[in-house]
C-alpha cells in the first residue's frame, strides 16, 4: 500500500471511529438513562417546568434517529451545552481550561520520556545487575502507585511538612497573571518577559507533573527494557559484537534504533493516561484545567460538562493516535505494507 492510500485509509478509519464513539456516547447518555432531561437538569433544577423546557431544548420529544443527528451536528458546531454550576457555556470553560491541561500534560510527558527511556535502557543493558534490580523494583512501585495518593503524599511532605513547595493552584496570589497570548501560562510569562512569574508557575507545576508522570515513567522503563532486551538477542547484534564494534556505537546505531520503535507507538496510550489522570491530579492540586472541571462537574452532578469534556478528551486522544500512526508509517514502511 502506498503512503497516500494508507493516509486515505487511516483518515476514513478515524472519521468512522469518531462517528462510532459519538453514537456510543449518544446511546450511553440518551438511551440508557430513564429520563435524560432530569439527568441534564441536575438535582437542583428538577421542577416539571424546567424539565419540560430541557426536553424541548434537547429535542427529547423527537424520534431517536433525529435526536442522534441533532446530537452529532451540535457537537460539530461546537455547541457543547451549558454548565449550570459555573454559569458559563461548556465551550467557553473548555477554551479557558484546555491550555492549562495541555501544559501540565506536556510537562509530565517531557519528564516521563527524559527519565523513563534512559532508565529502561540502562536497566536492559545492565540486566541482572543490582542497578537493574533497583530500577525494576522502582518501576513496579511506580506502575502500581495510585497517582492521587502520591499527590497527597507529596503535598503532605513537601508542602505541609517541609514547606518547600506550594500545595496548590498555579500562581502565588501576590503575582499577577501574564496577559493572555496563548493561554499557556509558562509560555505567556516567557513571552512577556516575566521571569519571576515563570519560575513561580513552574514551581507550582512540579508536584502535579511528577505525580501525573510517575506512572508513565514506570511503564516506559518496563517497555524500553523489554524491547531493548529483545533486540539485544537478535543475530545482527551478535554479529556486530563478534566484528568488534564498540559497545557504545552498537547500542546507539543497532540496538536503540530498532528497540525504540515499539516504544514510540505506545506514546498514543500515554495521552489517554494523561487525560484520565488529569481528572485526579488537577483536582488534588487545585489546577483549573479540564480535569478539575470534570471532577467538579461530577461533584455537582452537572452532567453536560462531563459529557462534553470526556467526549472532547476522547477526540483529542484519537487525533493524536492518528497522527502518531501516520508518523509511524512514515518512519517504518513495513507498517503500511500490512
Partner 1 sequence: MSGAMKRGFQRLLFFGRELLNHPSGLTGLAVLMFLLLVVILAPLISPYDPVAQDWSSVLTPPSWSHPFGTDQYGRDVMSRIFWGSRVTFAGGLLTVLIASLVGTTLGLIAGFYESVISYVIMRLTDFFLAFPSLLLAVLIAATIGPGLINATLALVVSWWPWYSRLVYGQVLSIKQEPYIEAARAIGAPSTRIVFKHILPQALPPVLVQFTMDLSYALLSMATLSFIGLGTQPPTPEWGVMISEARGYLLKGCWWLFLWPGFFLLLSIICFIMLGDALNDILNPKIKMVMKVRRLRF
Are 116 and 135 in contact by the 8 Å Cβ rule? The answer is no
Among the listed residues 210, 136, 197, 209, the one whose alpha carbon sits nearest the alpha carbon of residue 171: 197
For partner 1, give the closer residue by CB, 263 or 271: 271
Helix (H) or strand (E) holding 258: helix 257-265
For the purposes of burial, counting CB atoms within 10 Å of the CB of 235, is it exposed (0-12), middle (13-18) or buried (19 or more)? exposed
Applying the rule CB under 8 A, the residues between 205 and 244 that interact with partner 1 are: 229-230, 232-233, 241
Which 3 state secondary structure label does DSSP give 83?
Answer: strand
Query: Given its phi and psi angles, is residue 260 left (phi above 0), alpha (psi -120 to 50 degrees) or beta?
Result: alpha
Residue 144 within binding range of partner 1, rule CB under 8 A: yes
For partner 1, give the closer residue by CB, 46 or 192: 46
Residue 325 Cβ, how far from partner 1 at the closest point, in Å? 12
Please count the other Cβ atoms lying within 10 Å of the Cβ belonging to residue 334: 9
Candidates 72-80, 93-101, 188-196, 302-310; binding stretch for partner 1 (CB under 8 A): 302-310
- Burial letters 292-323, b for 16+ CB under 10 A, else e: bbbbbbeebebbbbbbbbbbbbbbbbbebbbe
Among 318, 325, 326, 329, binds partner 1 (CB under 8 A): 318
Query: Given its phi and psi angles, is residue 244 left (phi above 0), alpha (psi -120 to 50 degrees) or beta?
Result: left
Contacts of 267 (CB under 8 A, 6+ apart): 324
For partner 1, give the closer residue by CB, 92 or 149: 149
In angstroms, rounded to a whole number, what is the distance separating the alpha carbons of residues 69 and 168? Answer: 42
Applying the rule CB under 8 A, the residues between 26 and 55 that interact with partner 1 are: 28-29, 32-33, 39
Residue 275 within binding range of partner 1, rule CB under 8 A: yes
Among 78, 118, 146, 169, binds partner 1 (CB under 8 A): 146
Among 170, 184, 250, 326, binds partner 1 (CB under 8 A): 250
Residue 191 Cβ, how far from partner 1 at the closest point, in Å? 32
Residue 175 within binding range of partner 1, rule CB under 8 A: no
Residue 162 Cβ, how far from partner 1 at the closest point, in Å? 13
In angstroms, rounded to a whole number, what is the distance separating the alpha carbons of residues 183 and 136? Answer: 39
Binding site for partner 1 (CB under 8 A): 17, 20-21, 24-25, 28-29, 32-33, 39, 125-129, 140-141, 143-146, 148-149, 152-153, 155-156, 160, 167, 229-230, 232-233, 241, 247-248, 250-251, 271-273, 275-276, 279-280, 284, 294-295, 298-299, 303, 306-307, 310, 313-314, 317-318
Amino acid at each position: 500500500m502506498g503512503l497516500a492510500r494508507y493516509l486515505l485509509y487511516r483518515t476514513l478509519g478515524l472519521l468512522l471511529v469518531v462517528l462510532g464513539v459519538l453514537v456510543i456516547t449518544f446511546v450511553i447518555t440518551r438511551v440508557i438513562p430513564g429520563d435524560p432531561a432530569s439527568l441534564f437538569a441536575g438535582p437542583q433544577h428538577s421542577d416539571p417546568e424546567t424539565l419540560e423546557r430541557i426536553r424541548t431544548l434537547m429535542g427529547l420529544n423527537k424520534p431517536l434517529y433525529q435526536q442522534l443527528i441533532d446530537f452529532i451536528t451540535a457537537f460539530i458546531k461546537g455547541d457543547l451545552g451549558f454548565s449550570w454550576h459555573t454559569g458559563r457555556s461548556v465551550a467557553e470553560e473548555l477554551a479557558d481550561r484546555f491550555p492549562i491541561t495541555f501544559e501540565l500534560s506536556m510537562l509530565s510527558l517531557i519528564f516521563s520520556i527524559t527519565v523513563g527511556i534512559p532508565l529502561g535502557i540502562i536497566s536492559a543493558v545492565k540486566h541482572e545487575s543490582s542497578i537493574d534490580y533497583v530500577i525494576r523494583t522502582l518501576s513496579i512501585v511506580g506502575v502500581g502507585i495510585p497517582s492521587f495518593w502520591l499527590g497527597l503524599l507529596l503535598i503532605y511532605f513537601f508542602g505541609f511538612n517541609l514547606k518547600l513547595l506550594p500545595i496548590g493552584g498555579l500562581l502565588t496570589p501576590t503575582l499577577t497573571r501574564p496577559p493572555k497570548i496563548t493561554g499557556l501560562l509558562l509560555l505567556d510569562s516567557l513571552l512577556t518577559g516575566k521571569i519571576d512569574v515563570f519560575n513561580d508557575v513552574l514551581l507550582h507545576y512540579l508536584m502535579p507533573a511528577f505525580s501525573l508522570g510517575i506512572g508513565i515513567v514506570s511503564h516506559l522503563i518496563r517497555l524500553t527494557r523489554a524491547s531493548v532486551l529483545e533486540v539485544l538477542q537478535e543475530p545482527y547484534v551478535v554479529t556486530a559484537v563478534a566484528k568488534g564494534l564498540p559497545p557504545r556505537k552498537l547500542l546507539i546505531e543497532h540496538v536503540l534504533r530498532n528497540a525504540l520503535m515499539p516504544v514510540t507507538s505506545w506514546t498514543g496510550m500515554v495521552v489517554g493516561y494523561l487525560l484520565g489522570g488529569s481528572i485526579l491530579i488537577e483536582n488534588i492540586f487545585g489546577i483549573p484545567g479540564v480535569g478539575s472541571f470534570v471532577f467538579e462537574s461530577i461533584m455537582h452532578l452537572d452532567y453536560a460538562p462531563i459529557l462534553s469534556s470526556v467526549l472532547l478528551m476522547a477526540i483529542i486522544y484519537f487525533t493524536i493516535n492518528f497522527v502518531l500512526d501516520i508518523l509511524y508509517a512514515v518512519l517504518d514502511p513495513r507498517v503500511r505494507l500490512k
